[in-house]
Structure 1
Amino acid sequence: MIGVLAFIAVVAVYAVTESGPGTNPSGTVGLQAQSTPMPSPGTGRVTMIDLGATECIPCKMMAPILAELKIQYAGKADILFIDVWKVPAQAKIYGIQTIPTQIFFDEKGVEVFRHIGFMDKQRIVDILSGLGVS
């Protein structure tokens, strides 16, 4: 009986202290504790977030692709990178268990596609095009 009560207490504390997706006090959707303000899903533009780490090999391979796409789609779509080793809360918010993971959101901030692992430029372009970004 004591074990059950202890379990319920732990779950209750966990539920109260956890924050999930949603608007945080800074007004950004799903993005918390960022040192640099970044656009977030639901800003009126299609958004791709690559959640990885600067030291992960496939993430390093994707870095120049993301940099190029960020320039190519400036003003049309938001291309973001979040280092989940430096900001682990983001991994939890987006339910990341493996890096890299790319998440695509429509202009309303609704997740429409998720991919785990390295993603080449053409595949990203195809998904963005499918979401109406030219």
Structure 2
Amino acid sequence: MIREDDFQERRKHIANLSDKELYDRFWEMTAQVVDPLLELGRKNTTPSVERAVLLRMGVSSLDTQKIVEGAMDRGLMGHGTGNILYKVSKAKNISIRETSEAMARGEYWDDAVAMFKEGK
């Protein structure tokens, strides 16, 4: 079976785009694919899933429950505990491990709430 080469025909609608326009189009189309998946994650996550994510990030099993509860208490579960941990870690310029230990002790939660209320 020989496949007919129709590449030139299929690319007509993008043939005249610059590299910058192609780049922008790629990311626009990627967002169209990924956004519904992110929305599903926001609406359908569970404490169990969030603890599993934290464990895979190297967070101590003892700390995962405290971090998940902290996120739930503050209405941040929809943002994902791994995402919260990562963004706080970057903002504080400390490791994921240090951030997780601090958040399990109750630190940095005000920063996390402010960060996600502002839409960062």
Using structure 2 for the length normalisation, give the TM-score: 0.39
Name the larger-Rg structure: 2
More relative contact order in 1 or in 2 (CA 8 Å, sep 6+)?
1
Q: 1 or 2, which has the higher helix percentage?
A: 2
Using structure 1 for the length normalisation, give the TM-score: 0.36
Q: 1 or 2, which has the higher strand percentage?
A: 1
